[in-house]
Structure 1
Amino acid sequence: EVLANEKAQGSRPANEEVDLDELMDDPELERLHADRIAALKREVEKREAFKRQGHGEYREVSEGDFLGEVTRSDKVICHFYHKEFYRCKIMDKHLKTLAPRHVDTKFIKMDAENAPFFVTKLAIKTLPCVILFSKGIAMDRLVGFQDLGAKDDFSTTKLENLLVRK
């Protein structure tokens, strides 16, 4: 009986090899593989299209370019800053880290001193101010560090989680 079990177990790997060979020629498996390759190609093309629109990087825009930048992308995060404010520099550091991680969202910044029209239009009173736009419409905002524990030493992950929830 023990010998019969060992013999049966010994023959299993050979059977499994045959099954794997049969699977390799399976038209359903080939179709799934082709579908996956096509999906990956679409994902790469989508990522490249986002990069052509300025996604994947954190860059400064002028007041004249702002409207076009915000309306040409579905999701935009804009940091209104002042070059002398320490907390704006902290926010800059975190957003610069997040931009390459979230290629589906455009990350931009604008000097509030050089953008009086939009500062007034968007009622920006406190800096740093990060505004989240969806299809050109301001949907939410992060004012100062109040949602980040009102401390300067918050983590990039904490900011990332907050922005994803908003």
Structure 2
Amino acid sequence: MDQILVSAAKQLEKQLDSEIERLDNLGADDIEAIRERRLKEMKQRQEKIIKWKQNGHGEYSELVDEKEFFEVSKKSENIVCHFYRDGAERCKIVDKHLRILAAKHIEARFCKVNAEKCPFLTTRLRIKVIPSIALIADNKTKDYIVGFTDLGNCDDFSTDMMEWRIAQSGAIEYNGDLLTPPDVKKRQTYENKNKTIKSSRAYDSDSSDGLDD
């Protein structure tokens, strides 16, 4: 095990040395080219953000009918659409999380549709369970979140969990680990912490017993 760690450390050191050497060898023209490329990327990103905001991104809003949905589809490449029904408690839970994520992920259009008022769209997208979320990327329906099965099959899942599941479709930008659900990581961390605390208490208990002798 120690040899593996040493080997990994040496490999990482080589990579760092190589990167440092590359940076040291950059000339003034190279640095200026990198700077110009970065400025161009920032400008393009800012232009996108302005366009996204004009198209309703950054907010979580309701679409009144099928016509509005298709208009949104023409303007936004990435859409997260919640199909809900009045009075459904789980739909309110979805609303809470999507409202937070809409402000965070301006690159996608977050919206909701009353399934009962839009029967044509609901049938066309094969929505059978409420709540359901249609995840659209590049103008194609790539995925669905049906009920809470993919969210831990519970009502108290985190917003991070919803974000992770939406990211599986490519509808939003995501820099985290797509292989491991956030709530699983948190549970593992909590369990490990509890084990450490219990172990520490057991040690303290043994020590106390010894001091009482």
| TM bucket normalised to smaller | 0.7 to 0.9
* Mapped partners of 2:79, 2:36: distance in 1: 34
Residue aligning to 1:159 = 162
Structure number with the bigger relative contact order (C-alpha 8 A, sep ≥ 6) is 1
Alpha-carbon distance, 1:134 to partner: 2.3
- Corresponding residue of 1:119: 122
Out of 62, 77, 83, the position equivalent to 1:80 is 83
| CA-to-aligned-CA distance 1:124-149 (integer Å, 9 cap, x gap) | 11111100112332221011101112
* Structure 2: gaps of 5 or more residues: 1-27, 170-213
Contact 1:127–1:143, Cα closer than 8 Å, also in 2: yes
Aligned to 1:98: 101
Match of 2:43 among 36, 41, 44: 41
Structure 1 match to 2:112: 109
Root-mean-square deviation (Å)? 1.7
Q: Where do 4+ consecutive residues of structure 1 move more than 2 Å? A: 26-39, 134-137
* CA–CA distance in structure 1, aligned partners of residues 136 and 94 of structure 2: 17
TM superposition score normalised by structure 2: 0.62
Corresponding residue number in structure 1 for 2:54: 52
Deviation readout 1:29-62 (Å, 9 max, x if unpaired): 3443333233222211111111111111111112
2:161 counterpart letter in structure 1:
K
Q: Deviations over 1:2-27 (max 9, x none)?
A: xxxxxxxxxxxxxxxxxxxxxxxx45
Q: Distance in 2 between matches of 1:149 and 1:36?
A: 40
- Separation (CA, whole Å) in 1 of partners of 2:32 and 2:125: 53
Q: Which amino acid aligns with 2:164?
A: N
Corresponding residue for 1:32?
34
Residue equivalent to 2:140: 137
Counterparts of 1:155 and 1:123, CA distance in 2 = 27
Which amino acid counterpart does residue 124 of structure 2 have in structure 1?
K
| Structure number, greater radius of gyration | 1
Residues 1:60 and 1:106: Cα distance change in structure 2 (over 3 Å): same
Q: Distance in 2 between matches of 1:71 and 1:40?
A: 25
- Count of matched residue positions in the alignment of Structure 1 and Structure 2: 142
Segments of 5+ residues of structure 1 without an aligned counterpart are 1-25
CA distance in 2, matches of 1:92, 1:129: 12
The answer to whether the 8 A contact 1:83-1:89 is kept is no
CA distance in 2: counterparts of 1:136 and 1:48, whole angstroms: 20
Does the Cα contact within 8 Å between 1:72 and 1:135 map onto a contact in 2? no
Aligned to 1:148: 151
